[in-house]
Structure 1
């Protein structure tokens, strides 16, 4: 197989890859999305048996 250059370039991708390999980049790329997903799930499923659910059933 022989590769052929078709003229497509994506500027500054190398900088993002190098940043992702640093400690700050790992924090931003791996840990921060995980924390945001947990926070979102707590926000959505936070109080399944609390007042908000029972008020919806009564009204």
Structure 2
């Protein structure tokens, strides 16, 4: 089982990745690149699911 600190660090990293992904999604949408946009949106969904998983683990530790 991971410690609260390890989970916090992982969550911060995921949030940072989501912020970068958000910018890439904006650019793909602006450029009307639907194929890239679809890939990015799928990746965002995966990262959001990972965040929720970590949040549940943090809750269970508290």
Global fold match (TM > 0.5): no
TM-score computed with the length of structure 2 as normaliser: 0.38
Higher Cα Rg, which structure: 1
Higher relative contact order (CA 8 A, sep 6+): 2
TM-score computed with the length of structure 1 as normaliser: 0.39
Greater helix content: 2
